[in-house]
A and B are shown apart, each in its own frame.
Chain A
C-alpha cells in the first residue's frame, strides 16, 4: 500500500470550483461529502483539508543563526495549493481513479504525487 497526495491549486482569492449560488454551494458540499464518505468506507481516506489563502501564510527561515519570520508564502506564484487529500492506494492507477472522482466533485484539476516516505522517522 502506498500513500499519495492529491492536491488542488487555486489562483489567489479564488476557490477551486467555487459555486456561485447557495444552491450550487449545497450541491458542491454534498458531492464532496459523498466522495469523502466513499473514501473513508474503502479505507483510502487518511487526511484532507482546505487551506486558507497565501495571505495567511508565514515563512520561518534561518538568517545569521536566528530564526526569521517572513509574511507571505514561500513561493511567489500566481497559484497556490488550496486543499489536499492524503490517500492510501495500491498503485498509481488506484490513486488516479480517486483523483478522477475528486475532479468530478470539485471541477478543478488535481495533482497526484506519491509519498517517498510516510509516518514518523525512526532514529
Chain B
C-alpha cells in the first residue's frame, strides 16, 4: 500500500480493514489465479478503489469480501486486456463468467475461502525456501506490510528486500511450490516451520519500539492459525507463549534499558493478556499432547502467576524446563534451565551448567550475561566483569547494551 493510500484511508477505515483483509484477499486471489504478483497487484488496486468509494458510500458490511470481489474483477479485466494473460484467462473460464454477473461477495470465514490463508502460510514457509524468505513472504503477503516496512524491520535496504521477495516468488512459481495444506506425515514438521517463522517474527518485534508492528502481526497470524487449525495444540501453545510474553512488554524496559524479570514492576503487566494466555495453557494441559511451544508457554504462565520474583514456583519451572529439554535439547533451553536452577540450587550449580554450554553459545550475549550474574553472586567480581564486558560487546540492541553497561558500572562501584 502506498503511503498516499494509507493516509487517505485513515479517515474511511481503509487502514483498519487493510490489516484484517489484506492477507485474506491476497490468499484468495492466489487460489483463484495461481499467480502471486497478479494477486498482489489486484488487491492493491482494490484498496485504492476502496479508499475512494468508501469515503463517499461508507465501509460496506463485509469489507474483506468487497475487496476480494473487486480485486478479482480487476484481475480478470487486466487479464482480458493483456496478451500475456489471455492463456490464463481462458483457463479461468469459470471465474471469468461469474464476474460478469452482479458482484457476489466472497465471505472470508467460510469454507474454502477460510482455508486460503492457511494454504498460503504453508507456501510462504515451505522448507524449499530459506528462513529469510519465509519471514519476508509471510509479512508481505499475509501481514500486508509494505516492502519498505519489511526491509526496515530486518535492517536491510528496501531494494535488497524487494530483490529477496522477487527471488522467493520466482522460486514458488518456477519450482511449483504447491499452494495447499500439507497432509500427514508431513504436516507436523511443516507446521513447526510455520510456527517458528511466526515466533521469529514476534521475537524480532521485541528488539525495539519501532518494531512493535511485527509483534502485533505475529499475534494476529498466530490467532488466525489457531482458528484455522483448532486441533493443533502447538499452534495454541505458540499463541499463549506470545500473549504471556506480550503481557510483560510494558515492564520489560525502563529508561531505554532492559529490565530483568526479577526487577520488573509486575503491576505493569497486562492482566487481560495473562488471563487469555493462562486459559490457553490450561486447555493445552487438559489436552495432554505437550510440545515445545506449549511447554514454553507453561513456563511463562508460571512466571506470570507469581506476585513477586521470590514467590515464583521455581521447582515447577525447573521441571518444565527438564521436560522442554527432553523434547528440544538445544543450548538455548539449557541456558534458561540453568538460570532457573540458580534460584533453587544456587549460583554455583547454575555456573557448572553454564560453563558446559558456554562453547555452544559463545556468541550469544545473554549467555555471558547469565554467567556474569552467577559469578557476581559467587563473589568473583573480576570474572563477572569480564563476562558482562563480553556480553556488552555482543549485544545487538540498545536496551540490552544499556542494561549491560549498568551492570558493569555497578561492578566498578562495588
Contact = CB atoms under 8 A, between A and B. Distances in A.
A116 B174 contact: yes
A109 interface: no
B133 to A, nearest CB: 14
Interface stretch (B176-184, B211-219, B356-364, B403-411): B176-184
Interface string A67-102: 000000000000000000000001111011000000
B35 to A, nearest CB: 15
Contact of B128 (A2, A90, A96): A96
Contacts of A112: 128, 175
A96 B171 CA distance: 14
Interface residues of B, number: 9
Nearest to B182: A93
A114 B178 CA distance: 13
B174 A114 contact: yes
Nearest to A2: B176
B165 to A, nearest CB: 19
Interface string B15-58: 00000000000000000000000000000000000000000000
Contact of A114 (B126, B176, B182, B186): B176
A114 B170 CA distance: 12
A101 to B, nearest CB: 14
A90 B174 CA distance: 13
Contacts of B177: 91-93
Most chain B CB neighbours (cut-off 10 Å) among A92, A114, A116: A92
Interface of B: 126, 128, 174-178, 182, 186
20 contacts: A2-B176, A90-B176, A91-B176, A91-B177, A91-B178, A92-B128, A92-B175, A92-B176, A92-B177, A93-B177, A93-B178, A93-B182, A93-B186, A95-B175, A96-B128, A113-B175, A114-B174, A114-B175, A114-B176, A116-B174
Given A93-B177, A95-B175, A96-B128, 17 more contacts: A2-B176, A90-B176, A90-B178, A91-B176, A91-B177, A92-B126, A92-B128, A92-B175, A92-B176, A93-B178, A93-B186, A112-B128, A112-B175, A113-B175, A114-B174, A114-B175, A116-B174
Q: Considering the complex of A and B, which 9 residue pairs feature the smallest CB-CB distances, nearest first?
A: A91-B178, A91-B176, A114-B175, A92-B175, A92-B177, A92-B176, A93-B178, A2-B176, A114-B174
